[in-house]
Amino acid sequence: MIVSLLLFSGCAYQKEYNQVVKQGSVEDRYDFAVKAYDKQDYNRAIALFEELLPLFRGKDGLEGLLYNLAYSYFYDKDYFMAAYYFRSLARQFPNGDYSEEVTYMSAYCKTLESPDYRLDQTATKEAIEQLQLYINYYPESRRVEEASRLIGEMRQKLATKAFHVCGMYYKRGLYNAASISYNNFLRDYPESPDREQAMYLMIKCRYLYAKNSFASLQPERYQKVVDSYDLFLRMYADSPYRQEVEEFVKDAKEHLP
């Protein structure tokens, strides 16, 4: 009995959809789009909202339509399109009923778009930028703490990628490029948990770069090894890398005039 009722309900719903698409008025199609949204039938909701969008340009119902369309894409896990429409809504209605919410959601969708650290991180950078703008616009919002947490997550992903790139230079024996990359990493991501290892590897790369240089260039390059050690010692006096770093420095000093 229950199965029969469900089948009948499903058939009636499909029939209503077909009728609305073929001969429904703008109001009929909008009402059914909202109904589809409420039933979590996001594909049909999106199709109808998209069809109606040009008809609502400049009209009172545009804000609500864009809001429903953005969330339809969001719940359908199309975060790129959801971000686009949340952003569009924020720009077109900066003082609207949903301005704070959709500004946050646009940024949040970008965090969901953010891929594995080995891939292109454009979405990650956009997420950080939009989240920071949200915090700047709405510093008293209840979402600020969550936005700050997400910024931390996105920055850690960028740091992981940067650290991985440094390691690629190191493994290929490109010690100068690696030392420069590690130095940039230390400057750009001071909060990274990989900071200690990065500083150690920067010194090691500087040492190996100097060691493999022409004799006339060695003094200047060995001096960089010695200079790096002072900062390392102040920051990580108890580091497990300290003994190895001291060996680099000892050998470097022997090559200085």
Residues of the chain with pLDDT under 50: 1-9
- What's residue 18's pLDDT? 79
User: In 3D, which of 10, 104, 85 has the Cα closest to residue 46?
Assistant: 85
Residues 6+ apart with CB under 8 A from 217: 210
Domain total of the chain = 3
pLDDT for res 92: 94
- pTM for the predicted model, two decimal places: 0.85
Residue 208 lies in a domain: yes
What pLDDT digit, counting tens, does each position of 109-120 carry? Answer: 999 999 999 999
**pLDDT on residue 38:** 94
> Are 183 and 253 found together in one domain?
yes
pLDDT (0 to 100) of residue 8: 39
Place of tokens 């809504």: 89
Instruction: Give me the CATH number covering residue 139.
Output: 1.25.40.10
Q: Is residue 46 part of a domain?
A: yes
Distances (CA, A) of 80 to 91, 114, 132, 141, 256: 17, 10, 19, 24, 56
Domain span including residue 145: 72-157
Residue 203 near residue 229, CB atoms below 8 Å: yes
If asked whether residues 206 and 233 sit together in one domain, one would say yes
Considering the domain boundaries, does residue 230 fall inside one?
yes
Distance between CA atoms of 148 and 156, rounded to whole angstroms? Answer: 12
Identify the domain boundary among 132, 157, 182.
Answer: 157
Co-location of 249 and 223 in the same domain:
yes
Last residue of a domain, one of 157, 183, 218: 157
Please check whether residue 31 lies inside any domain of the structure: yes
pLDDT of residue 10: 55
Predicted pLDDT at 99: 96
Residue 167 belongs to some domain of the structure: no
